[in-house]
Amino acid sequence: MTKHYILQLDPSAKYEWDRCSLRDPITADRPEFAGLIAQAVGEQPGSYLVSVKIEVQVLEQAAPQSQRELPPISELSSELPTRVPVLQSRVA
């Protein structure tokens, strides 16, 4: 069974539990490993001695937001419209 998760490491996070978080890339849920292991074992009731192998492969690394390079404001201003239409709504 192969599962993909997003690991976020933030040593400066306000709370301890947000310094290292593992989330599903689609639902943003935190993985519940006991449920995943039970799914792999099957539906038969009982106690099982299981071996769990975790293999980690980094597929992509995103730069932290504070380190992402943005173009200078002068380059962005040439792409911005000079006039923006204003929409008015009437309340009946």
Question: Which three-class secondary structure state does DSSP give residue 81?
Answer: coil
Tell me if 7 sits within 8 A of 21, measured CB to CB: yes
**pLDDT by position in tens, the chain (length 92):** 788 999 989 888 898 888 899 999 999 999 998 998 998 898 889 999 999 998 999 999 887 765 555 555 555 555 555 555 555 555 54
How high is the pLDDT of residue 13? Answer: 87
Give the pair of three-digit tokens for residue 30. 């935190």
Contacts of 25 (CB under 8 A, 6+ apart): 4, 5, 6
Q: pTM for the whole thing?
A: 0.56
Question: Which three-class secondary structure state does DSSP give residue 51?
Answer: coil
Q: How far is CA 64 from CA 11, 47, 60, 73, 92, in A?
A: 12, 43, 13, 20, 48
